[in-house]
Chains A and B, each alone.
Chain A
Amino acid sequence: MALEKKDVEAIAHLARVAIDEADVEDYAESLSNILGLADQLNSVDTDGVTPMAHPMHMVQRLRADEVSETNQREHLQEHAPAVERGLFLVPQVID
């Protein structure tokens, strides 16, 4: 499956990645190669094989339902670019 220029732009947008217009062709080719590899994998007969959810053959450990965290707002907000009345401030989003 070959990706076109517009596919690359759509993927970049979904991932919020800024890309150079000049590099789009290269990305299209590289990504198409990866998809080519996936196509090759697709040709293997996997009937009756349970899809792998995780490379480690272990199961999830559970945590008891207990509140173990304390309020560390001040500490955690030290790195935030903008804070007001305890809220993180981000560029305006409106639906």
Chain B
Amino acid sequence: MAWEIVIGCEIHVQLATKSKIFSGASTAYGAEPNTQACAVDLGLPGVLPVFNADALAKAVKFGLAIDAEIGMRSVFDRKNYFYPDLPKGYQISQMDYPIVGVGEIDVDMEDGTTKRIGITRAHLEEDAGKSLHEDFQGMTGIDLNRAGTPLLEIVSDPDLRSSKEAAAYMRKIHSLVRYLEISDGNMQEGSFRCDANVSIRPVGQKEFGTRAEIKNINSFRFVEKAIDHEVERQIAVIESGGRVVQETRLYDPDKDETRSMRSKEEANDYRYFPDPDLLPVEIDDAYVEAIRKTLPELPDARRQRFESEYSLPEYDAGLLTASRELADYFETVVKQSGAEAKICANWVMGELSAALNRDTIGIEASPVNAENFAGLVKRIADDTISGNTAKKVFEAMWAGEGSADKVIDAKGLKQISDSGALEGIIDEVMSNNSQQVENYRNAEPDKRGKMIGFFMGQVMKATQGKANPGEVTKLLNEKLNG
């Protein structure tokens, strides 16, 4: 039977505030356990949560970026459940009146098409602490530094139809929150994680199948693998006469499988109710408009501008705007090198990206910054060095040997473009290889193209590769045919 896959995603984005959503404790990552957990985060009796203005601003900013309804009046609710990393016995979240309502986002697929994905809502909530299950004399250790960290939970409609679409959606949201500077998006540190609701149904069936929720996926690669695995599992269950049970499953990347999280809490009865400690949050149009003014140029708009302003192909523009840092880098290179945008794009997507991938570092940590890279592209564009030499210069710059000009000087790599100097060298090569010259002149014109390569090779050898190839070709044609 042919199956259709239906996926909806819940993405938890940690908002990049300095302090927690309801307390003045720091949100900095990596501190000693419980040194950033104050009385409010610990849920001690008598404390009152006070809402962080910046968490609100960042959530509204996201809502505006996806053209969503903004909750002019939003309400915090208590979601009740017992777990030791949640000391109050409830999580403060938003249920009926979230800060961000219905919106949408265009996701770019691998085949170049675009698919519009509905956003059901995005609500603010506090993160829980961390449980450490190592052996503490048969007990569990609790670190509450993360408790109270502001999260924006972005819930998609069940619009995704494959693991690839889910990964593309996740990438798009990741890129967007980084553009908006509302989150650092650091997946290793848990600032960006995804739960996927996965179900299958026979192609053509209208009703959704029973879904399983895969929790806490924190990499783009795992989201695809986890969903693929879960789909296979569900097909196997149904085709062998079984029934998919609604449950939460955990993806284990080491074994490449999902397994059921058998929760003792059989009934997921969260008994939501409005939190009496917090009043409704009301904002007005002036507030929303002030936030709108802080919106940067968004990825889709920037990609279109790259296509029109720099005459870049759609593919290049998409790649270069995938992250704000890369797009900024590229634009600095264009401005400072004065070179044609396409040349800049080729070198940024080529040598630079290859080196970054090879050493698995992000563009923001590139050992060659945009200004220096512009210096290199400038020397390619003004014919100081050939493309081949530029690769050597780049490697030297990458290894920390200084600016392009410094490397070119130090290694004597300046290209010889002076036609007088090149003519002398070509004359010498021709007189040393008179037989080849004769062969060339006797050859059919359609064979000559290949034969000229020999002379080019000799000139390059004589100049240690520094001769300007364009100039040499021109001069060789004149002299050999003349």
Contact of B50 with A63 in the complex, beta carbons under 8 Å: yes
Given A68-B19, A76-B42, A87-B33, the answer on whether A53 and B140 have CB atoms closer than 8 Å is no
A46 an interface residue at 8 Å Cβ cutoff? Answer: no
CA distance A51 to B279 in the complex (A): 13
Chain A proximity of B434: nearest CB distance (Å):
80
Contact of A69 with B25 in the complex, beta carbons under 8 Å: yes
| Residue numbers in B under 8 Å from A89 (CB-CB) | 136-137, 139-142
Apart from A14-B267, A61-B51, A93-B140: 7 A-B pairs, beta carbons within 8 A: A63-B51, A63-B53, A69-B25, A82-B139, A87-B33, A88-B144, A93-B83
Given A10-B267, A14-B80, A93-B84, the answer on whether A88 and B141 have CB atoms closer than 8 Å is yes
B271 an interface residue at 8 Å Cβ cutoff? Answer: yes
CA distance A14 to B89 in the complex (A): 10
| Residue numbers in A under 8 Å from B250 (CB-CB) | 95
| Residue numbers in A under 8 Å from B89 (CB-CB) | 16
Q: Which of A14, A65, A93 contacts B19 (CB 8 A)?
A: A65
| Residue numbers in B under 8 Å from A72 (CB-CB) | 38-39
Residue pairs across A and B with CB atoms within 8 Å: the count is: 136
Q: Which of B54, B96, B279 contacts A56 (CB 8 A)?
A: B279
| Residue numbers in B under 8 Å from A69 (CB-CB) | 19, 23-26, 36, 38
B276 an interface residue at 8 Å Cβ cutoff? Answer: yes
| Residue numbers in A under 8 Å from B265 (CB-CB) | 14
A71 an interface residue at 8 Å Cβ cutoff? Answer: yes
How many B residues have CB within 8 A of the partner chain? 59
| Residue numbers in B under 8 Å from A10 (CB-CB) | 267
Q: Which of A56, A68, A73 contacts B35 (CB 8 A)?
A: A73
B369 an interface residue at 8 Å Cβ cutoff? Answer: no
Contact of B33 with A65 in the complex, beta carbons under 8 Å: no
Q: Which of B34, B56, B133 contacts A73 (CB 8 A)?
A: B34
A94 an interface residue at 8 Å Cβ cutoff? Answer: yes
CA distance A66 to B25 in the complex (A): 8
Q: Which of A51, A59, A85 contacts B33 (CB 8 A)?
A: A85
CA distance A39 to B37 in the complex (A): 42
| Residue numbers in B under 8 Å from A48 (CB-CB) | none
Q: Which of B32, B36, B269, B280 contacts A59 (CB 8 A)?
A: B280
Name the interface residues of B229-263: CB closer than 8 Å to any CB of A.
250, 261-263
CA distance A89 to B89 in the complex (A): 17
Given A89-B139, A92-B139, the answer on whether A16 and B82 have CB atoms closer than 8 Å is yes
Among residues of A, the one whose C-beta sits closest to the C-beta of B39 is: A76
Most chain A CB atoms below 10 A, which of B53, B56, B80, B141: B141
| Residue numbers in B under 8 Å from A41 (CB-CB) | none
Chain B proximity of A12: nearest CB distance (Å):
12
Chain B proximity of A43: nearest CB distance (Å):
21
Most chain B CB atoms below 10 A, which of A16, A59, A60, A82: A60
